[in-house]
Amino acid sequence: MPRKLKKALKIASLVITAAAMVFVGGVLMTGNQAEAQLPEYLGSQACLGCHTEKYEVWEGSGHAHMVDQIVKPSDLPADPASAPAELKAELDKAAYVVAGHRFLARDPATGELKYLSVQYDDASKSYVAYKGGSSWDNGCAGCHSTGWNVETKRNAEMGIGCEACHGPGREHILGKGDVSKITVNAASVACGQCHNGTGKVASGTTWPVGYRPNMMSLSEVGFTYATVTDDKVPEYGKPKMRQFAMWEASAHANATNLLIARGDHYLERQECIKCHSTSAGLMIADGQTFDPKKHLVNDGVSCVACHDPHNSTNPGQLRMEPQALCLSCHSVARGGEPVAQIGTVRAPHSPQGDMLQGISAIGVAPTKGPHSELSCIECHMTEGNHLMKVIEPADVIGTARKDSCSSCHTNSTPESRDIYLSLWQDSVNARIAAVKADVTYIDAIVKARPDALGADKAAYENARANYWYVEKDKSGGAHNFEYAIKVISSAQKEISRIKASLSK
């Protein structure tokens, strides 16, 4: 039977069963009776009829296939006959495959699912030994499945289904699609319930038992986890940090607050709010007009700004290719065609992508640098860190840890890399400080005498825009040292000349 037909029949069966439970013996049941008959969690297939497109892309995602049942040999990642003889007996027991490479079987003595002593290695494309025996029920089930009940040790659905992120669907369905009975938001805490790494509740369970996606904090269910600060990237494994704790400490998490602090004018500008609030950005991308008085949610640049929780088309479930994703906010053009020249009215906002490519300064020829061919994540997400913070050479001196430069600069020491980086940044930042002092001086004169610049007005505005460009890049030359020096030196020379002429 074709897969789609089987799915359709299964859904029809589910709908008929639900209808029969709500309408029994020709008598319409009350809401309370229906609640008593229907389970709280209905499974993702109950969402298919109304949310077909979302379901279809989710069905191909890693979330949907976190745990797959093994019914026949072809359900395994490779031919079981290829397994070494000493592992074949273990593999033959497998009832489920977890994340495509580890295997579970039910312990005949306890009835719980446990890991087997075999796994599939993606790199070598072969079955290899694994230290099995640990309990999936006690250590993993709450995140690997949906609607896990710690008392009965049963779930509503294997894998990470719709209700894991949107909450149980019974009330939503009984309410005929009432959106107030389901959770739909861009808050990262729904992801944090699993992507936290070192969390636990008082009972020792490593996931937040009782958490529902409409809760705004994991602490509401007594869940604690190791947090970080934004001053230094913690080392993975000491203790193991996962994405959520790092994201919480990042500038991304605070992005909406930064805009709120600047006032309503910035909140009302669609080009600002679409990058500073994920819920706003998703609305605008959908062609809707964002009104901060009605729609403002302080969600920052949350997980779902970059990751599509339903779709695995791109690696890491990213919404687009990684560099394009970063440049959709971190460039003057906000992901559009690069601008030929920055404006002079106000400082360019987040021009990191332009500086990296060595383009857009006024009167300075484009200049590629040694880092221009790198993507943002190569330096800002070393070890997969979601602080988006570079691990500088100075951070690893005297340790065995690698910094963000190590993967390319393999034949140098952290000490030598630190010297180069410090030289670049000290040189650029010293020039920025000198130009800033001159700009402050000139702007004060112009405020008092608007016509003071005379014929130098355009030259000053161009030079000041170039200074702003280098300052707002905030890398101190690390993105593109040669171009940064050319641009700030050009600005410094022109502004010094204008300052001298005003001082006569």
Cβ–Cβ under 8 Å, residues 281 and 305: yes
Averaged pLDDT score across all residues of the chain: 90
In whole angstroms, give the CA distance from residue 8 to residue 56: 13
For 452, phi and psi rounded to 5 degrees?
-60, -35
Structure tokens at 210: 């009782």
pLDDT reported for residue 101: 96
* Tokens standing for residue 180: 């107030």
CA distance 2 to 187: 38
358-407 pLDDT, tens digit each? 999 999 999 999 999 999 999 999 988 899 999 999 999 999 889 999 99
Interval 289-296 mean pLDDT? 92
14-18, 218-222, 341-345, range with the lowest pLDDT: 14-18
Q: How confident is the model at residue 36 (pLDDT cuts 50, 70, 90)?
A: low
CA 68 to chain centre: 25
What is the C-alpha separation between 60 and 37, in angstroms, rounded?
Answer: 31
Nearest to 69 by CA among 134, 10, 144, 14: 144
Q: pLDDT, tens digit, for every residue of 97-149?
A: 999 999 999 999 999 999 999 999 999 999 999 999 999 999 899 999 999 99
In this predicted structure, the answer to whether residue 419 has a pLDDT above a threshold of 80 is yes
8 Å CB contact between 344 and 461: yes
pLDDT at 87 over 90: yes
Tens digit of pLDDT for each residue in 208-257? 999 999 898 999 999 988 888 888 888 765 545 578 999 999 999 999 99
Domain 356-503 in CATH 1.20.140? The answer is yes
Question: Model confidence at 203, in pLDDT bands (50, 70, 90)?
Answer: confident
Q: Does residue 363 contact residue 491 with C-beta atoms inside 8 Å?
A: no
End-to-end CA distance of the chain: 91
> How far is residue 459's CA from residue 467's CA, in Å, rounded to a whole number?
12
Helix, coil or strand: residue 289: coil
Distance between CA atoms of 300 and 86, rounded to whole angstroms? 51
From CA 111, how far away is CA 38, in angstroms rounded?
26
Contact 145, 100 (CB under 8 A): no
Q: Please provide the DSSP assignment of 91-104 as one string.
A: HTT--EEETTTEEE
In sequence order, the 6+-apart residues with CB closer than 8 A to the CB of 333 are 327, 339, 354
Residue-level pLDDT at 186? 92
CATH 1.20.140 residue spans of the chain: 356-503
pLDDT-above-70 percentage for the chain: 91
* Entry pTM: 0.87
Model confidence pLDDT, tens digit, residues 179-193: 999 999 999 999 999
Q: Is the pLDDT of residue 26 over 60?
A: no
pLDDT-derived band at 2, boundaries 50, 70, 90: very low
Higher per-residue pLDDT: 264 or 427: 427
Q: Name the nearest CA neighbour of 424 among 369, 382, 381.
A: 369
Q: How many Å apart are CA 472 and CA 190, to the nearest integer?
A: 33
3-state secondary structure 423-477: HHHHHHHHHHHHHHHHHHHHHHHHHHCCCCCHHHHHHHHHHHHHHHHHHHHCCCC
pLDDT tens track for 432-469: 999 999 999 999 999 999 999 999 999 999 999 999 99
Q: Are strands 96-98 and 67-69 parallel, antiparallel or unpaired?
A: antiparallel
Residue corresponding to tokens 């269910």: 221
Q: Which is more confident, 33 or 309?
A: 309
Distances (CA, A) of 189 to 184, 244, 277, 358: 12, 8, 15, 37
H or E element that contains 115: strand 113-121
CA atoms within 13 A on the CB side of 282: 21
For position 24, what pLDDT does the model report? Answer: 36
Percent of the chain with pLDDT over 90: 80
Using DSSP's 3-state secondary structure scheme, residue 224 falls into strand
- Whether the pLDDT of residue 20 is over 50: the answer is no
Say how far apart CA 355 and CA 479 lie, in whole Å. Answer: 6
User: What DSSP character marks residue 46?
Assistant: G
User: Is the pLDDT score of 16 beyond 50?
Assistant: no
Beta bridge partners of 146: 157
Contact 221, 199 (CB under 8 A): no
Inter-residue contact 478 to 421 (CB < 8 Å): yes
Q: Cα separations (Å) of 492 from 63, 365, 483?
A: 53, 16, 14
Angle at 348 between CA 342 and CA 353, to 5 degrees: 85
